[in-house]
Amino acid sequence: MTKTHSPSSHSSPDLFVSKMVRHSLRMTAGTLASRILGMLREILTAAFFGATRELDAFYVAYTLANLSRQLLAEGALSATFVPVFSQALARDGLDRAERLAKEAVTLLLAMGALFVTAGIIFAPYLVFLIAPGFKGQDAVLATNLTRLLMPYLILVSLAALAMGALNSMESFLVPAIAPAVANLVYIVAISLLYWKMGIWAPAVAVLLGGCFQMGLQWAWCAGKGLMLIPAMPGRDPELWRMVRLFFPYAAGLSLNQFHPIINRILGSFLEDGAISVLNYADRLIQLPLGLFVIAVSQAVLPLFSRAALEDEVAFADIGRDALRFTLFIVSPITLCTLLYASEAVHLLFYRGAFGDWAWRATSGALFFYALGLPGMACNNVTLRALYARRFPKAAFFVVVTSVLANLACSVVLMRFLSYRGLALSSAIAFTSASLVGGQFLRTSLGRPIGLFDIPWVSRLALSLAATGGASMFYKFFIPYPLGAGLPLRALWMCGAFAVGAASYIITVRRLKCAEWGWVAEAIRRDKARVKRDE
């Protein structure tokens, strides 16, 4: 019996927006657990290792092994596999899409094995490229950790393919939960292994977490009738179209991985612990990025892929709405992160080996990273739009712009601001890339997107002013209880979150911002669906 999958029509831009918001909210709900556990993971790592050269070595190794997460899970694999798989699913049904996915698994395994083998052999040279400031035992430790972590490339790549297939079948919750399972496994493993294995414990914990992350999504695919078992690639034109698209996208997105590499390279010449504090700050920035920005960009990619078959006016409207919804979510988070950077770092990390210097350093890096949050958010969405419209050269140029801006600014600013200069350079780079990407998208469509019209900007600015005013009032009249116990400090931070969220929500409702209406409508639709299912 032939399996079918019949997605609903996507001809209406309003229907696109509704689906984008609903899918984003589901991914956000699933990702919330992952980000909370991910933060607990960093808290535990900070308590065990602090900000030390030994931990710097682990993060260098993890950077090398983790390149595939952005390159594949959030990059070239999604950009090529999801559009091709989505269109095959919509046009020919699940049987056809399943054959395509099985052949893609085979190619991915072959490529992964090649990369892992090369990574193990050339690990000393890779470590030298990433951290040329490492000498002696530091370099040896980073090399050995890199070799141990290399198989993680295959695990996370296969998990990414399963995630793309599930997203294309409009299943977003389980792919969002899978990283939470990986983080939970990491927490349990490092708690048990640290006492005997030391710095090797987090490396083993990462591998175990990757196994569970991949296994959960593969099992869920099987439950939906999609068996991701390797099959010998044939002459399927869709498969080879995906391969042809993959390499130019991978070339551009591999350059995107130079952002953390730049921080590792230049940070290795700074004071001990510089790489570690940049990593802690980056992990905090990844919380809103993962909860909201990546959720929106992952949810919108299958919709962009189908919208590409529609007229360009509809595509432009969808792109505008996706960018506005992203800024609607990210802007107040950016503001509150700037206001509460020091308090957040103190609450989350200040314990054990994580002392005063690490607290101050991480807070400073977080502040400057936060300045780039809107740019990071818009860059994610515009790149997805360019992928859907099959403009790899434009996407490549956007990435090149961000890397060159980051490198140039880092070399200059690190002399004056040390590790804080590296964080600020990242913010400048992503902001520049988002502007360039928006211009390319406008040119490809032959019409303006209409993102920043005066009424929309005015409503957002007023909402942010109200949020900032209320937050500063709270911070001034109820100071952070620095010397108090964890429960009281956590209660203060919850109060800060409540004040900021309440003031923003009240203001956007009073101003009748369209984005708040989208959220409310998406929640109503989900509630109605649950009641129908009951």
Helices H, strands E: what count in the chain?
A: 22, 0
Confidence of residue 17 (pLDDT cuts 50, 70, 90): low
Q: Rg of the Cα trace of the chain?
A: 23
Mean pLDDT of 386-412: 84
pLDDT for 4 equals 41
Backbone angles phi, psi at 354, to 5 degrees: -90, 100
pLDDT for 312 equals 72
365 located within any domain? no
Q: How many domains does the chain divide into?
A: 1
As given in the structure block, the two tokens for residue 466 are 């109200």
Q: 372-390: buried (b, 16+ CB within 10 Å) or exposed (e) per residue?
A: bbbbbbbbbbbbbbbbbbb
Cβ–Cβ contacts within 10 Å for residue 128, how many?
16
353 located within any domain? no
Mean pLDDT of 425-444: 90
122 located within any domain? yes
CB 341 within 8 A of CB 370: yes
Collapsed DSSP state (helix, strand, coil) of residue 351: strand
DSSP code of 122?
T
Catalogue the E-assigned strands of 45-134. Answer: none
163 located within any domain? yes
Instruction: Pick the more confident residue, 491 or 176.
Output: 491
Q: Please, what is the average pLDDT of the chain? A: 82
Instruction: Pick the more confident residue, 530 or 110.
Output: 110
pLDDT tens, 138-171? 889 989 999 999 888 888 888 888 887 887 787 7
224 located within any domain? yes
Q: How far apart are CA 226 and CA 5, in angstroms?
A: 11
When mean pLDDT is compared across 98-107, 238-247, 362-371, 423-432, the lowest value belongs to: 238-247
pLDDT for 299 equals 66
Confidence of residue 506 (pLDDT cuts 50, 70, 90): very high
Q: How far apart are CA 409 and CA 415, in angstroms?
A: 10
Q: How far apart are CA 454 and CA 90, in angstroms?
A: 39
Instruction: Pick the more confident residue, 78 or 241.
Output: 241
The residue among 245, 248, 244, 240 whose CA lies nearest residue 393 is: 248
As given in the structure block, the two tokens for residue 98 are 């399943």
Give the helix ranges, DSSP H, for 452-485.
454-477
270 located within any domain? no
Instruction: Pick the more confident residue, 207 or 236.
Output: 207
* The residue count for the chain: 534
104 located within any domain? yes
Q: How far apart are CA 416 and CA 400, in angstroms?
A: 25
Instruction: Using the predicted structure, report yes or no on whether residue 295 has a pLDDT greater than 70.
Output: no
pLDDT tens, 305-336? 665 555 677 777 778 888 888 899 899 999 99
C-alpha 255: how far from chain center: 16
The residue among 182, 126, 134, 186 whose CA lies nearest residue 150 is: 126
101 located within any domain? yes
Place of tokens 């002392």: 355
pLDDT tens, 461-485? 999 999 999 999 999 999 999 988 8
Containing structural domain, residue 212:
34-247
The sign of the dihedral angle between the CA atoms of 468, 334, 342, 28 is positive
Q: How far apart are CA 281 and CA 240, in angstroms?
A: 40
Confidence of residue 131 (pLDDT cuts 50, 70, 90): confident
